[in-house]
Amino acid sequence: MTARPERIQDVSQAAGEERPLPKHVAFIMDGNGRWAKSRGLARTEGHRRGLEALRGVVRHAGKIGVEVVTFFSFSSENWRRPQQEVSFLMTLLRRFMQRDLSELHEANVRIRIIGEREDLEPGIRSLLEEAESLTKDNTGLTLVVAFNYGSRDEIVRAARKLSLKVAAGELTADQITEDAVSEALDTSGLPDPDLLIRTSGEIRLSNFLLWQSAYTEFHFSPLNWPDFDETAFDRAIADYCGRDRRFGGLSAKVV
């Protein structure tokens, strides 16, 4: 792993202990609309600036040695938004997958997409699949884009996959373990998030990574997503580094 930036090291040393950086950080990028409204701009401008913030966070994550970042880009409930906003979000995804792909590939970034693909327009679906396939052997940062994603939907799809295997005689009911469920989810093979950051002061999970965040630490930032920069990211990581993760056991300080 690359050397940690001094600011983060300082925080963990001040707490008297070296705590590892989070391997996997997940983001709920909330507040794009409010950011735009407070400036008299269209909501779509908030999303456009939100994509710029995402780029900055990806760069910073790679620099400080985070291994996986996951962004909640479009939820399975976001189809309920006005048609014009939905199609702008599709355009942003298309732009991101077309314009940023070669730069991400050169930076050794591996792209993974989670969410239901069936409902997506075939053109978008193939862009997502091309990005995954082009970058699949990259060994640097893993960038997970949650698109048309809903955690309950993901769990239902996993349950169906497992039940089909049972019906086909490939799996017994006893073999449905926590590991088997994890492997049947879209996030199969990825570590669970250590830290989940939600911006804009909202304090809820909104159907994001419900299974995967069983032991995740949460950080709620008051900033709207377009204002979430490197300093805010460092602050969230420093907050995480000061937490005592027990995973249902006892604190290392107590034992």
Hey, which residues are catalytic here?
Answer: 30, 78
Q: Is there binding between residue 141 and ligand FPP (CB under 6 A)? A: no
C-alpha torsion angle, residues 224, 225, 229, 233 (rounded to 10) = 100
Q: Is there binding between residue 162 and ligand FPP (CB under 6 A)? A: no
Can you spell out the DSSP letters for 126-192?
Answer: HHHHHHHHHHTT--S-EEEEEEEE-HHHHHHHHHHHHHHHHHTTSS-GGG--HHHHHHHSTTTTSPP
Q: Is there binding between residue 54 and ligand FPP (CB under 6 A)? A: yes
As a whole number of angstroms, the distance between CA 117 and CA 113 comes to 9
Given 32, 70, 187, 213, the residue binding ligand FPP (CB under 6 A) = 32
Q: Is there binding between residue 30 and ligand FPP (CB under 6 A)? A: yes
Number of C-beta neighbours around residue 137 at 10 A: 8
Q: Is there binding between residue 60 and ligand FPP (CB under 6 A)? A: no
Q: Is there binding between residue 34 and ligand FPP (CB under 6 A)? A: yes
Q: Which is nearer to ligand FPP, 11 or 190 (CB)?
A: 190
Q: Which is nearer to ligand FPP, 39 or 246 (CB)?
A: 39
Q: Which is nearer to ligand FPP, 33 or 193 (CB)?
A: 33
List the beta bridge partners of residue 198. Answer: 28, 220
Q: Is there binding between residue 47 and ligand FPP (CB under 6 A)? A: yes
Q: Which is nearer to ligand FPP, 18 or 202 (CB)?
A: 202
Given 8, 29, 141, 241, the residue binding ligand FPP (CB under 6 A) = 29
As a whole number of angstroms, the distance between CA 111 and CA 138 comes to 9
Q: Residues touching ligand FPP: how many (CB under 6 A)? A: 18
Q: Is there binding between residue 58 and ligand FPP (CB under 6 A)? A: no
Q: Is there binding between residue 23 and ligand FPP (CB under 6 A)? A: no
Q: Which is nearer to ligand FPP, 54 or 158 (CB)?
A: 54
Residues that bind ligand FPP in the complex, under the rule CB under 6 A: 29-34, 47, 50-51, 54, 73, 78, 89, 92-93, 96, 145, 225
